[in-house]
Amino acid sequence: MLECLVAVLCLAAAPAGNWPAFRGTGDSVSQATTLPLKWSETDGIAWRSGLTGYGQSSPVVWHNRVFVTTVDGPQKERAVLACVDLASGEALWQDELKSAQTAEVTDYISRAAPTPAVDGKRVYAFFETGNLAAWTHDGERLWERNLIEDYGPFTGNHGVGSSIALTDRAVIVLVDHSGPSYLLAIDKASGETVWKVDRPDTVAWSSPIATDDGRIVVSANGRCEAFDAESGKQLWKRAGIEGNTVPSATVSGDLVIVGSKEVGSNLAIRIPADPQVPETTIAWKSSDATATFSSPLVYNGHVYLVNRTGVAFCLNEQTGETVWKQRIGGSCWASPLGGCGRVYFFEKSGTTTVMSADGTANVLAENVLPTEDRVYGVAAVEGRFVIRLGSELICIEGTD
C-alpha cells in the first residue's frame, strides 16, 4: 500500500530501471519499489569498479548500463566518458576527448563535475574543459562541440560545475562563470545550436532543470528564472535571492523550491499554470533552513535540505514551516534522495543516514562505508544504488 502511494505522489520521478540525468529527472526521487536499506563495508556491496582519472559527477543509468565521466592527466588533458555494466561492474567501453581547455588539477577546481545525461538513443556529456559530445549507448561518438572555440574560455577560480538537462529535442547547457555567461540549447541529433541566451558575468555551479511542461528553470546567483524550452524566451524571473550559487531548483507542481546557503533565501516560488504568464509570487520563506552544496528534495509533502555542517531540515512543502531539524553524521555533497517512503542522506564521508519520510525524523539505518575519497553523487534504480567516488563506482544491493 505504501509503495503504491509513493508511486502516485512521484509521477515525475525517474523510471525504476533508469536514472537518466543529474538527480534522476531533476528531483532526486526514485520510483523503485525496492531500494537498499542497510549495507556496510562487508555486506550488501554488489561490485566495485575503478575508473580512469577522477571525477565529481554523478553516474547515470539506462537499463543495464551505467555512464560516468572523469578527467585524466595532470592538466586535465583528457575528458573521459566510461560505460560500466550495471549487473557486474565490468567496464564495457570508454572514449576520451582531447580537452578544449586544460587546467592544473587541484582540490579547488572542478574535475568532471557536470553530470552526463542519457535517453533511449544517446548519451551526452559536458565537461568543464569546454567539451560537449554525444555517443550511442555502444560508444560510437556521434558529434562533438568545442564551447571554448565557439564562445570563449571558461574563467573563474573554481571551474564550471553545472550539469546538463534534456528536453525532447535538446541538450540544455548552463555556463555561468566570470566571463560572458550563457544558457544554451543544442540539438540532440545533430549537435547544432538551437538557441542561446546571453547572461551577465555571474559565477554559479547550479544546474538547469527541464520540466515536463516545456520550461527550463535556473536558480543561480541572486535570481531564479524560467525559459521556454523551444525558443529560449524568458518566461519569468525572481530576483533578490542570496547564496543560491550551488543548489539547483526543484520543481513540484506549481512550486519552485530554491535552496541557498543563506538564511531567508530558502523559499518557494508559486508559478502560474500557464507557462506564458510572467507573474509569480513567493509562497513561503524558511526562517532557519539552509542548503549549502546539495539541492532541495521534495518528497511526500515535505522539503528536505542539508547544510555544510550536516544539519538536515524537514519543512512543510506548502507552508515552509520547519517540521524538524537534526544533525546527521556529516556534510553531504550529493543531494538527499527520496524513495520507498525513505529519505537517504549520502554524506561525503561514505556514511548514509536513512530516515523515514513521514515527518517524524525517525532514523531507520546508518550505513557506514569508510572511504578516503569523497562521495559525490548517486544513482537509484530498482533494488540498487550506484555511488560515485572520485575514481570508483560502488554498487549497493544491501537489504530492504
Pairing of strands 311-316, 322-327: antiparallel
Number of neighbouring beta carbons within 10 Å of residue 341: 17
Start-to-end C-alpha separation, the chain:
16
Could you tell me the pLDDT band of residue 65, with boundaries at 50, 70 and 90?
Answer: very high
Q: pTM for this one?
A: 0.94
Q: Could you state, in order of their start, the residue ranges of all structural domains in the chain?
A: 2-396
SS3 percent helix, strand, coil of the chain, rounded to 5, is: 5, 45, 55
Helix (H) or strand (E) holding 305: strand 302-306
Asked if residue 372 has pLDDT above 90, the reply is no
Total residues found in the chain within this entry: 400
What pLDDT sits at residue 156? 86
Give the tens place of pLDDT for each residue, 268-300.
999 988 877 889 999 999 999 999 999 999 999
Q: What is the pLDDT of residues 315-339, one digit of tens each?
A: 999 999 999 999 998 889 999 999 9
Q: What are the pLDDT digits (tens) for 232-242? A: 999 999 999 99
% of the chain beyond a pLDDT of 70: 96
- Is-contact 343 67, C-beta < 8 A? no
> How confident is the model over 110-134, as a mean pLDDT?
97
Assigned CATH for 2-396:
2.130.10.10
CA distances from 28 to 6, 13, 211, 244 (A): 14, 8, 14, 18
φ, ψ for residue 26 (rounded to 5)? 90, 10
- Percent of the chain whose pLDDT exceeds 90: 88
Give 147-156 contacts, CB < 8 A, sequence gap 24+: 147/100, 147/173, 147/175, 147/184, 148/100, 148/101, 149/100, 151/175, 151/180, 151/182, 152/179, 152/180, 153/101, 153/179, 154/101, 154/128, 154/130, 154/179, 155/179, 156/203
In three-state secondary structure terms, 25 is helix
